[in-house]
């Protein structure tokens, strides 16, 4: 594995200097804070004193400083409040009302820190009939229509890990919302509350499919459309050794390249757009693919415009030549983890620090953050003064 480019120390990256207070949870909120930390933010995670220590190989907990507080105790709630007074961003994933009952809700904390971005991650949102109901990724994507669209036509919907709801929708929309709120704060000087509901965000991910359905370009049911495995030129096929390859030859020129390279009969080279011929085309592709092993197809097709890739297991991914050439994995606590993404030309991210490697008491964090905030305020005042001088010239 190739290590990532190092910048000028811990906290390198475009978000260096950003102070994020994370209230420990599971799923999308920790993933979002991992992304912010990867990009250089100083993320301090509040955990219960009796919480089990994080396994250093846990990717979603990497890069944090941990402070242990018992939020049932007045003194520890006061300590959390002090940290929030110095933070730029707060991330919490409790049910609606929990933070308010602790005296740590948005009104409480923005009264002492008007610039605080208060990001709230939930499944169903802060209001609505389901706001207080328990749920997980599978429930949220079920209500969005996403789950119904994934899987074979003649069997139950297939659960797509928890990539769609928790991570693709919840975590990444929290990150983009935080960045948007920070951009707006540069103009207003004010923070705001982000109601990040996984159900909302998954609906937005489904926007193209709702549009296609409204135009009559997406039929109900699974595996009957272009991107759900229904199209024979956008599907997976079993190889002679029991492996699989993924074919994504959507454009006509790429489809013709596929047909030529796997040896399909000439009369099928123009069958791509004819749904009536899809069963015949699928059968022909499967018959061709079954003639060789996954490794043989990888060698023959992977670098061509046929749009074919081997379906790799988790244990195989890190060793793929493309990933090794790009340094797409980094070693964290002796195990390979995906490297921070995206990549920045001028402010590259540092290699992540293992989960649980950094611990600090709340008072120490408070002093450190307060000093950093004072230094930044002085710098901002100097920059404002310089801009005003330039404007008057």
Q: What is the pLDDT of residues 329-368, one digit of tens each?
A: 999 999 999 999 999 999 999 999 999 888 999 999 999 9
Q: How far apart are CA 149 and CA 141, in angstroms?
A: 10
Asked whether 22 and 88 are in contact (CB, 8 A), the reply is no
213-270: per-residue pLDDT in tens? 999 999 999 999 999 999 999 999 999 999 999 999 999 999 999 999 999 999 999 9
Measuring CA to CA, how many Å separate 269 from each of 69, 372, 393?
65, 64, 69
Measuring CA to CA, how many Å separate 104 from each of 90, 99, 109, 111?
10, 5, 6, 11
Q: What is the pLDDT of residue 393?
A: 61
Phi and psi, residue 3, nearest 5°: -70, 155
Identified catalytic residue from 38, 42, 82, 166: 166
Q: How far apart are CA 279 and CA 314, in angstroms?
A: 31
Please, what is the average pLDDT of the chain? 93
Q: Where are the alpha helices (DSSP H) in 16-105?
A: 28-38, 74-86, 98-101
Identified catalytic residue from 108, 136, 269, 331: 136
Domains of the chain, CATH where assigned? 19-205+324-380 (3.40.50.10540), 234-321 (3.30.1540.10)
Beta-carbon neighbour count of residue 335 at 10 Å?
15
Cite the beta strand spans of the chain per DSSP E.
19-23, 42-47, 64-68, 89-92, 117-122, 193-197, 234-238, 244-248, 308-310, 329-332, 335-338, 358-359
- Evaluate if pTM is beyond 0.85: yes
The residues facing 358 across adjacent strands are: 65
* Strand, helix or coil for residue 206: coil
Q: How far apart are CA 359 and CA 79, in angstroms?
A: 16
Distinct helix (H) and strand (E) counts, the chain: 14, 12
Q: Which of 368, 282, 348 has its CA nearest to residue 13?
A: 348
Helix (H) or strand (E) holding 336: strand 335-338
175-217: per-residue pLDDT in tens? 999 999 999 999 999 999 999 999 999 999 999 999 999 999 9
CA dihedral 109, 115, 116, 121 (to 10 degrees): 120
Q: How far apart are CA 28 and CA 41, in angstroms?
A: 17
Which positions ≥6 away from 374 have C-beta within 8 Å? none
Q: How far apart are CA 330 and CA 340, in angstroms?
A: 9
* Strand, helix or coil for residue 381: helix
For residue 383, what pLDDT band results from cuts at 50, 70 and 90? low
For residue 373, what pLDDT band results from cuts at 50, 70 and 90? confident
Q: Is the pLDDT of residue 308 over 60?
A: yes
* DSSP code for 42: E
Which positions ≥6 away from 5 have C-beta within 8 Å? 348
Q: Does residue 195 have an active-site annotation? A: no
For the chain, how many residues are written? 393
Q: Does residue 127 have an active-site annotation? A: no
22-75: per-residue pLDDT in tens? 999 999 999 999 999 999 999 999 999 999 988 999 999 999 999 999 999 999
Phi and psi, residue 375, nearest 5°: -65, -40
Q: How far apart are CA 41 and CA 22, in angstroms?
A: 12
Mean pLDDT of 18-22: 98
């Amino acid at each position: 594995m190739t290590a990532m480019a190092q910048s000028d120390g811990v906290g390198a990256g475009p978000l260096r200097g950003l102070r994020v207070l994370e209230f420990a949870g599971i799923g999308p909120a920790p993933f979002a804070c991992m992304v912010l930390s990867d990009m250089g933010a100083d993320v301090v995670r509040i955990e219960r004193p009796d919480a089990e220590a994080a396994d250093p190989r846990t990717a979603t907990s990497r890069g944090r400083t941990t402070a242990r507080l018992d939020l049932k105790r007045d003194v520890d709630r006061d300590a959390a409040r002090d940290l929030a007074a110095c933070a730029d961003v707060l991330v919490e994933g409790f049910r609606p009302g929990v933070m308010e009952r602790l005296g740590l809700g948005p009104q409480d904390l923005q009264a002492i820190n008007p610039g605080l971005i208060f990001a709230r991650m939930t499944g169903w949102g802060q209001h609505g009939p389901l706001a207080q109901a328990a749920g997980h990724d599978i429930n949220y994507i079920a209500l969005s229509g996403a789950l119904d669209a994934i899987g074979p036509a003649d069997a139950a919907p297939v659960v797509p890990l928890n990539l769609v709801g928790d991570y693709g929708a919840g975590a990444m929309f929290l990150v983009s919302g935080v960045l948007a709120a920070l951009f707006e704060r540069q103009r207003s000087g004010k923070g705001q509350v982000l109601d990040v509901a996984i159900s909302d965000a998954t609906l937005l991910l489904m926007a193209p499919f709702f549009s296609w359905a409204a135009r009559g370009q997406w039929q109900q049911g699974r595996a009957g459309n272009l991107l759900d495995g229904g199209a024979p030129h956008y599907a997976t096929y079993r190889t002679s050794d029991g492996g699989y390859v993924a074919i994504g030859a959507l454009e006509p020129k790429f489809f013709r390249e596929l047909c030529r390279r796997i040896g399909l009969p000439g009369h099928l080279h123009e069958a791509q757009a004819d749904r009536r011929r899809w069963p015949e085309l699928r059968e022909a592709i499967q018959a061709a693919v079954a003639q060789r092993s996954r490794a043989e197809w990888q060698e023959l097709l992977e670098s061509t415009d046929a749009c074919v890739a081997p379906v790799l297991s988790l244990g195989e991914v890190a060793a793929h030549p493309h990933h090794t050439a790009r340094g797409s994995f980094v070693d964290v606590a002796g195990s390979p983890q995906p490297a921070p993404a995206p990549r920045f030309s001028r402010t590259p991210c540092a290699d992540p620090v293992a989960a649980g490697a950094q611990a600090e008491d709340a008072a120490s964090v408070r002093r450190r953050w307060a000093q950093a905030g004072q230094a930044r305020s002085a710098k901002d005042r100097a920059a404002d003064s310089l801009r005003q001088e330039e404007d008057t010239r």
